[in-house]
Amino acid sequence: MLGAMARNSAHDNPLAPVTIAVGQEDLLLDRAVQEVVAAARAADADTDVRDLASDQLQPGTLAELTSPSLFAERKVVVVRNAQDLSADTIKDVKAYLGAPAEEITLVLLHAGAAKGKGLLDAARKVGAREVACPRMTKPADRLAFVRSEFRVLGRSATPEACQALVDSIGSDLRELASAVTQLVADVEGTIDEAVVGRYYTGRAEASSFTVADRAVEGRAAEALEALRWSLSTGVAPVLITSALAQGVRAIGKLSSARGGRPADLARELGMPPWKIDRVRQQMRGWSPDGVAVALRAVAEADAGVKGGGDDPEYALEKAVVAVARAARSRRG
């Protein structure tokens, strides 16, 4: 699991003389370090690990840390935020890259931006092992991460369960990874959406996306019940307006798309195939005018919950009812 979602270079030996972990996703950066440390300690249980912030690596410090030892011990030297190293220290590191010491693994964590790019280029030039640790800003990336976590742990989870986990937990990769580990430890067999609902929303109806699903299906009473339960269990109102907006936009995108297989439409619209099937079922009562009306109602509610109104709960209720009515616009 340590290497999940990290794309490594061809030199995929954690004990390579130099590893560069590039990106801004803290969980993946930490895993890159853990992978090297675990490999080193498997080779030598007495491995000495030095984990340094950039300001702790001063000119001359690296030479001290990598000088030959009387005990010839294996050592891992980790430098975090290497892009922030001083110019003189970068000169030291570049010189070291040209002649790395035996039994020592240097791990440089670098944000990957323009700052300190010369150090990154120098490490790549000498063939350093590279681990990509990009920040996952897109929901699709986080969904792929969750799938990968289940796969690495040798367990099966349905697409709907993976999506529900992302919807419930949010963007924090550490929390997502922890949730996957908990589910794998506690649940036997395939992990489905109902299991995720029981664990992470108290009951399946509590999810903001359940509110949206019931609303876009025209089931106003059930949507309002789900809304009240969600608010009572601490779901942020802004998450509910976001889910409503996504649900209505999905209806609009699919209704204006050309017909085709779910796999083809998934590529065209940027949705997973299973969601195409779900949205097709939800869109039966919708008209183009209904989509426009619903989007306006959700936008008004969004402004209300972000401080533009006195009663966020009432704003959400109005939006849910408006969306549910719009879902029946084709049927009059």
* 18-23 and 129-133 beta bridge pairing: parallel
pLDDT one-digit tens code per residue, 217-275: 999 998 998 888 878 766 778 888 988 998 899 888 888 775 666 666 766 776 666 67
CATH number of 139-200: 1.10.8
- The CA distance from 308 to 304, in Å, is 4
Residues of the chain with CATH 1.10.8: 139-200
**Residues of the chain with pLDDT > 90: what percent?**
49
Structure tokens at 30: 């930490």
Residue carrying the six token digits 């019940």: 225
Q: Which of 3.40.1160.10, 3.40.50.720, 3.40.50.2000, 3.40.50.300 is the CATH number of 18-133? A: 3.40.50.300
Please determine, for residue 6, whether its predicted confidence score (pLDDT) is greater than 70: no
Q: Classify residue 66 by its DSSP letter.
A: T
Evaluate whether 213 touches 245 at the Cβ level (below 8 Å).
no
For position 78, what pLDDT does the model report?
A: 95
Please determine, for residue 189, whether its predicted confidence score (pLDDT) is greater than 70: yes
- The per-residue pLDDT of the chain, averaged, comes to 85
Evaluate whether 83 touches 55 at the Cβ level (below 8 Å).
no
Confidence of residue 309 (pLDDT cuts 50, 70, 90): low
Nearest to 76 by CA among 98, 110, 45: 45
Nearest to 145 by CA among 32, 3, 266: 3
Instruction: Write out the DSSP string of 107-175.
Output: EEEE--SSTTHHHHHHHHHTT-EEEEE----SHHHHHHHHHHHHHHTT--B-HHHHHHHHHHH-S-HHH
Residues of the chain with CATH 3.40.50.300: 18-133
For position 331, what pLDDT does the model report?
A: 58
Structure tokens at 37: 């440390």
Count of beta carbons in the 10 Å neighbourhood of residue 70 = 5
Q: Calculate Rg over the CA atoms of the chain.
A: 25
Confidence of residue 204 (pLDDT cuts 50, 70, 90): very low
CATH class of 208-327: mainly alpha
Rounded to an integer, the average pLDDT of 62-87 is: 86
